[in-house]
Amino acid sequence: MTEEDLIAGCLKEDRECQRELYKRFSGKMMSVCLRYATNRMEAEDMLQDSFIKVFDNIGKFKKEGSLEGWVRRIVVNTAINKIRSNKVRFEELGEENDGFLHHDKNIIDRMSEKDILKLISEMPQGYKYVFNMYAIEGLSHKEIADNLGIEEASSRSQYAKAKKYLQQQLIKLEKINL
C-alpha cells in the first residue's frame, strides 16, 4: 500500500489502513518515546497519544516531507509537551563530567542500538531531554530552551554534560561487555 493509499484510507477512518500505518511506524516511534519517557508505561502513553493525534490530523499532512518524518515530529512534540507538563530536573553531576572525552569513533558502531537506547533513557532527565532534542531530533539550543523553559546557555551546558556522560557510559558498558 502506498503512502497516498494509506493516507486516503486513514482519512476515511478505514481501520485496515490505520492498522497498517500503525504497524509501519509504531516500532520506530516507540523507540522515540522510550528515549523521552522514564519507563515503558510512560512511553506507551506517549505513543498512544501520538497516534491519536496522527489519526485525528492525518488530513493535515501536506506531503512536504515523508510521512514517517511527519509522524516522528508529532511523536516528538507529544513527548515534549508531556515533558513540559512535568517538572524537568536539570542535574549537575560534578566536575568530573566537565570537558569532552576523547571520542572513539567506533565505539558507537560496536554498541547495539538497544544498549545505546538503554544508556540514553537512563540518563538524568535534563541531560536526556536536551541530548535527544539536540543530537537526535536536530533542534537548536534556542528551540530546546523555548520548549523546556530554560535559558539557551543552560541548554548548551546540559548538552555538553549529557554528551560527556553518555560517552563515559558507553566506555563503561563496552568494558563490561568485554
Partner 1 sequence: MIDNQFEKQIREKMNRMEVEPSDGLLDSIFEKRAAARQPAAAFGLTKVIAVAAVITGLALLIHFGMGSGDQTSPLAANQNNPVTNSGQESEGPQARSESKDVLNTQSLNSSGSGSSQSHIADIVQSNRNTASKGKHQTSMAGNHPGRVSGPGQKERNSGKNSVTQTFNANPDLNAYFNVDATNRPVIASESHLGNSHMYVYQNVDPTLTDYIASNAYPHHMKPFMVAIENEEVANVNLLASSSMSRSHKPLFIDIYGSLGMGVFTTGKGAGYFKDLGKTNVSNGFGVRISKPVSNRFNVFTGLEFNQFINKYKGDFNVSKDVTEISTKTTYINDPVKGTIPVIVNDTNNYTLTKNHKVNHNNRYNVLTLPLGISYNFGFRKLDFSVNLAANLQYLKTGTYQSWSDNSESMVAKSSSSYFNVGAGISLMGSYPLTNKFRLIVEPGFRTLSIPGMKSGNSFGENIYNVSLRAGIRYTVF
Residues that bind partner 1 (CB under 8 A): 15, 18-19, 22, 26-28, 30-32, 34-35, 44, 47-48, 51-52, 55-56, 103, 105, 108-109, 111, 113-114, 116-117, 120, 134-136, 138, 140, 163, 166-167
- Least distance between partner 1 and beta carbon 138 (Å): 6
C-alpha cell at 70: 511527519
Q: How far apart are CA 13 and CA 42, in angstroms?
A: 27
Which residues have a Cβ under 8 Å from the Cβ of 148 and sit 6 or more positions away?
80, 83, 84, 88, 129, 130, 155
- State which H helix or E strand residue 84 sits in: helix 67-85
Give 87 or 142: the residue with its C-beta nearer to partner 1.
Answer: 142
Give 30 or 150: the residue with its C-beta nearer to partner 1.
Answer: 30
Give 41 or 87: the residue with its C-beta nearer to partner 1.
Answer: 41
- Least distance between partner 1 and beta carbon 6 (Å): 15
CA-closest candidate to residue 148, choices 71, 86, 75, 58: 86
CA-closest candidate to residue 120, choices 108, 132, 110, 135: 132
Give 66 or 86: the residue with its C-beta nearer to partner 1.
Answer: 66
- Least distance between partner 1 and beta carbon 87 (Å): 25
Q: Which residue has the cell 563490561?
A: 176
Q: What is the dihedral of CA 150, 151, 152, 157, to 10 degrees?
A: -80
- Least distance between partner 1 and beta carbon 119 (Å): 10
Give 68 or 151: the residue with its C-beta nearer to partner 1.
Answer: 68
- Least distance between partner 1 and beta carbon 145 (Å): 16
Radius of gyration of the chain (CA): 18
